[in-house]
Amino acid sequence: MGRWWVIGILVSVWWGVLSGSVTAQSGGGTTLYLPLIGKGLALPPEDEAAQRLQVPPGFAIRIFAEGLPTRPRFMAFGPDGWLYISLMNSGQIARLPDRNGDGRADATEIVASGLYLPHGLEWHAGWLYVAEGDRIERLRDGDGDGRLETREQVTDNIPPPVGHASRTLHFGPDEKLYVSVGSSCNVCEEEDPRRAAILRFNPDGTIPDDNPFATDPDSRRHPLWAWGLRNSVDFLWTPDGVLWADHNGSDGLGDDLPPEEIVIPVQRGAWHGWPYCYTPDVGAVSGPEVRDERLALPSGLDCAQAVAARFTAPAHSAPLGTTLGEGALFPPAYRQSLYVAYHGSWNTTSANIRDCKVERILLDAAGQPIAAEPFVTGFRAPGKPCGDAATYGRPADVIFGPEGAMYVSDDKGMRVYRVIPVP
């Protein structure tokens, strides 16, 4: 009888741990919250984000870091296992370590300062590469004090931040450095070919010999890899090596046009439509681009020549950071997905507000986008656009950590959230 009573208590306690409901009180009345362990990941007690934001059944969201200074944007995990994040408006890089493994950052540690609009981050060969407004730098800790005080300029072959100021970088499977640069305008013919484009460099900033325009008489075209991408704030490579970029469409055609291009299969040396053409349909698409009549189409150019998007979203959704679910500690059905941080609309009519959220793009067995559904919602006030002062937060980037959890940066609420699967 006593043995079964003990077993019953143990089962009850274990189930309580799994459900996050167990508390233990000492004689003085102090409550000890036992952390919920979801697939090996610690989950802190419910907080403001858990009460405010919605995730699908089987997942939980908590604040990982808060009170971050000035516009936290893109993130990368370092070789030390800690999360690094760009603080764009303050010109800083912060480290957010979780040394005790409780699912929350211990502190906001400023590891680099004096940068010019830092945005995209990626670690490569022991260096943290940083995409700034008009240059690429790389940083490392040369003396072991925890700060990234050793700085080298990789290249300044980047147009200055006019119009779209964010710059994003990633290293490709070919070990080359790719950099996205947004347009200087809403709709215009750019004078500088490096704008509205993705550029490609060697890790030291020199021009690869196999760049499509490496010997062009106009030296500004030497780093050009692909163009006609108005504002591809993020991009990635699929497991089979295809470069996918997102694309923020232009304003001025109302609430519904042009759609945001979420998956563009970027082609070497190719034009991708802007500013003369756009992909017209919402969702999975296979047709050609259509004309944007605000600019005359140059002689010899046709919308059929533009590389069209494979998947789009409603206009003004503002896709920013994007990542694949492969390698995450999510259930298998959620790994075959693309996750995108939608910054949401600020200038649509009240009838067509675009939500600020993390969207899940479902991929078929061949890895192609087929449908979309919300994954993290609840950021904006009812009936208010995401640019409204009452907005709780606006997702900017989404990545997965080495332990398999999802991290979402929020440049309105000045937070980073962590999403994990739970029993």
Mean pLDDT of the chain: 91
- Give the C-alpha separation, 373 to 259, whole Å: 17
Rounded to whole angstroms, how far apart are CA atoms 274 and 289?
10
- CB contact at 8 A, 309 and 290: no
Confidence of residue 39 (pLDDT cuts 50, 70, 90): low
Mean per-residue pLDDT, 76-89: 98
Closest by Cα among 270, 392, 400 to 330: 400
Confidence at residue 391, expressed as pLDDT on a 0 to 100 scale: 97
Task: Output the CA–CA distances (angstroms, integers) from residue 366 to 134, 318, 319, 361, 370, in the order listed.
Answer: 38, 27, 23, 14, 10
The CA distances from residue 322 to 97, 288, 404, in Å, are 22, 24, 16
What are the structural domain ranges in the chain? 56-421
With bands split at pLDDT 50, 70 and 90, how would you rate the model's confidence at 280?
very high
Q: Which fold has domain 56-421?
A: Neuraminidase (2.120.10)
Please give the pLDDT value at position 12: 36
Is the pLDDT assigned to residue 32 strictly greater than 60?
no
Residue 10: phi, psi to the nearest 5?
-60, -45
| Cα–Cα distance, 233 to 179 (Å, whole number) | 10
Beta strands in 299-381 (DSSP E): 311-313, 319-324, 337-342, 357-363, 369-376
- Answer with the residue of higher pLDDT: 16 or 109: 109
**Residue 100, helix vs strand vs coil:** coil
The pLDDT value recorded for residue 200 is 99
Which of 337, 176, 189 lies closest to 268 in space, CA to CA? 176
75-87 mean pLDDT? 98
Q: Among residues of the chain, what percentage have pLDDT more than 90?
A: 88
pLDDT at 5: 36
Rounded distance between C-alpha atoms, residue 390 and residue 233, angstroms:
25
Tell me the one-letter amino acid at 88.
M
pLDDT at 351: 86
Residue pair 121/166 in contact (Cβ under 8 Å)? The answer is no
- Give the pair of three-digit tokens for residue 372: 């979309």
> How far is the C-alpha of 360 from the C-alpha of 337, rounded, in Å?
6
Q: CA–CA separation, 354 vs 16, rounded Å?
A: 39
